[in-house]
Amino acid sequence: QVQLVESGGGLVQAGGSLRLSCAASGRTSSRYGMGWFRQAPGKEREFVAADTRSGGTTIYADSVKGRFTISRDNAKNTVYLQMNSLEPGDTAVYYCAASPNPYGSTVPSGYAYWGQGTQVTVSS
């Protein structure tokens, strides 16, 4: 019903920046809540950031607050995660997710649609 494709991951040095993109297709809506999660090998998937109803409200994990910014371009059906001041601890596969609930969620179970993930590796 909804397909999400992430891009923009890669290898970056500590202190650098990356911008992840998540292009949505299919039966999408600007009223969907959008979120970003990340997962390192052997770790649980953890919440990173969420954006509700066309960016009306945003929320961030404490670990990324002040460094990451979630945004969306409804005309392009795309959501972004701007990541600045990257740290080795940010290394993970990053996933975007969409929920028909415009209020979004901070837990994976709150999202119905997921992208395939994109690898972010931060070296020291």
- 64-86 b/e (C-beta count within 10 Å ≥ 16 → b): beeebbbebeeeebbbbbebeeb
What are the angstrom distances between the C-alpha of 99 and each of 64, 79, 106, 109? 22, 13, 11, 10
Note down pLDDT in tens along the chain; length 124 residues: 899 999 999 999 999 999 999 999 998 877 889 999 999 999 999 999 999 865 578 999 999 999 999 999 988 999 999 999 999 999 999 999 999 887 778 999 999 999 999 999 999 9
Residue 116 has what pLDDT? 97
The kind and range of the H/E element at 41 are none
Q: How is residue 54 written in tokens?
A: 């066309």
Q: Is 99 exposed, middle or buried (0-12, 13-18, 19+ CB in 10 A)?
A: buried
